[in-house]
Amino acid sequence: MSGDRTAIGIDVGGTKIAGGVVDVRGRILVEYQVESPATDSEAIEDSIAELVGRLRAEHDAATVGVGAAGYVDQHRATVMFAPNIAWRDVDLKAELEERIDLPVVVENDANAAAWGEFAFGAGKDIDDLLLLTIGTGVGGGIVKDGELYRGAFGVAAEVGHLRVVPGGRICGCGNRGCLEAYGSGSALVKIAKEEIAEGSLLARNLVDLAGGDPDAVTGPLITGAAEDGDLFAREQLANLGRWIGEAIASLTAVLDPAMTVIGGGVSRAGDLLLEPIRQAFGQQLTGRGHRPVQEITLARLGNRAGMIGAADLSRR
């Protein structure tokens, strides 16, 4: 491990690509972000290369870590499948190294965020951690006994694709009833719009905030309205939290983590999301009242956890 070097971390999501130069203490020295051309694989790589170029112009860096929202193989090179991005069996490591002339490590974005929180954030004092990222989709990462758990083929912890409703809503992965179809930021907006279309009287204020256009309702708009006391918006976040809390209870039955960390864009809702998560978790936890109860907390590094974790993993 070359632990004395700065590294570039890139976090590729369904809506944006963020990048930063990260030192060995997990501090971001400079960062930029660009829109993610999620439907064009070639354009994504061009955007990453451009972002790396801008960052290298300000700080020297020895390696690049890329957190990719998809299934990454055990060699940390190929994105085999991405539900929300146009990647299918893409050797992202090789293609990026040809463009940017630096060593590249590719890791699932939620795995990278889990490592960032474990190494520098909420979990830096524990050995076992589960992370859920709630954004465009639902990602997951597991640190077990101080090591990132990736599974036999590199694709462990895809918790967003746990089936929670047999025959339920269609998911971006092609299956029905996945947690991601109910417990993601995309699901938050979709379900709210459905209730608006069905004539929910409680939703009138939210529609007014969207300029009278239901199609203009967004996740941040719902969160902002909830913070201002809007009952409909709070109800949407509470329902979202219930799905997530119940999923954490199921995952705890298998993993028994010391802590679950909630990250991703929707985590900006803070206690409005966290409290329903904790309540649903407590109601569904097997053996409740007769076992230690883990802490469920917000990501300390916020949306930068994936960037920081990807950079650190590239040094290892």
In sequence order, the β-bridge partners of residue 89 are none
At 166-194, the pLDDT tens digits run 999 999 889 999 999 999 999 999 999 99
**Average pLDDT taken over every residue of the chain:** 94
**Shared-domain flag, residues 260 and 283:** yes
Whether 107 is covered by a domain: the verdict is yes
pLDDT at position 40, please?
87
**Mean pLDDT computed over 211-216:** 96
**Mean pLDDT computed over 270-277:** 97
Q: Give the neighbor-by-neighbor strand order of the sheet with 88-91.
A: 71-72, 78-81, 88-91
For residue 3, pLDDT over 90 is answered with no
Whether 212 is covered by a domain: the verdict is yes
**Shared-domain flag, residues 225 and 169:** yes
First-to-last alpha carbon distance for the chain, in angstroms, is: 5
At 86-102, the pLDDT tens digits run 889 999 999 999 999 99
Give the structural domain span for 70. 7-116+304-314
Strand segments (E) across 118-275: 129-134, 138-144, 147-148, 259-263
**Shared-domain flag, residues 192 and 70:** no
Predicted confidence band of residue 5 (pLDDT cuts 50, 70, 90) = confident
Whether 289 is covered by a domain: the verdict is yes
In 3D, which of 121, 151, 155, 162 has the Cα closest to residue 262? 121
Whether 121 is covered by a domain: the verdict is no
Predicted confidence band of residue 316 (pLDDT cuts 50, 70, 90) = confident
CATH code of 160's domain:
3.30.420.40
Tokens describing residue 71: 């299934």
**Shared-domain flag, residues 237 and 220:** yes
pLDDT at position 1, please?
37
Enumerate residues 6+ apart whose C-beta is below 8 A from 201: none
pLDDT at position 37, please?
85
The tokens 């409680």 sit on which residue?
Answer: 202
**Shared-domain flag, residues 238 and 309:** no
At 119-149, the pLDDT tens digits run 999 998 999 999 999 988 899 999 999 999 9
DSSP 8-state class, residue 257: -
State the total domains in the chain: 2
**Shared-domain flag, residues 100 and 159:** no
Whether 1 is covered by a domain: the verdict is no
At 62-83, the pLDDT tens digits run 999 999 988 999 999 999 998 7
Whether 257 is covered by a domain: the verdict is yes
**Shared-domain flag, residues 154 and 284:** yes
**Mean pLDDT computed over 239-256:** 97
Other residues' Cβ atoms within 10 Å of the Cβ of residue 69 = 26
At 22-77, the pLDDT tens digits run 999 999 999 999 888 878 888 999 999 999 999 999 999 999 999 998 899 999 99
**Shared-domain flag, residues 85 and 147:** no
Supply the Cα-derived Rg of the chain in whole angstroms. Answer: 19
**Shared-domain flag, residues 133 and 92:** no
Whether 2 is covered by a domain: the verdict is no
Whether 33 is covered by a domain: the verdict is yes
**Shared-domain flag, residues 142 and 286:** yes
Predicted confidence band of residue 4 (pLDDT cuts 50, 70, 90) = low
The tokens 């991005």 sit on which residue?
Answer: 85
**Shared-domain flag, residues 173 and 202:** yes
In 3D, which of 225, 245, 228, 247 has the Cα closest to residue 236? 225
**Shared-domain flag, residues 253 and 177:** yes
Q: Is the dihedral of CA 32, 160, 263, 189 positive or negative?
A: positive
The answer to whether 140 and 159 are in contact (CB under 8 A) is yes
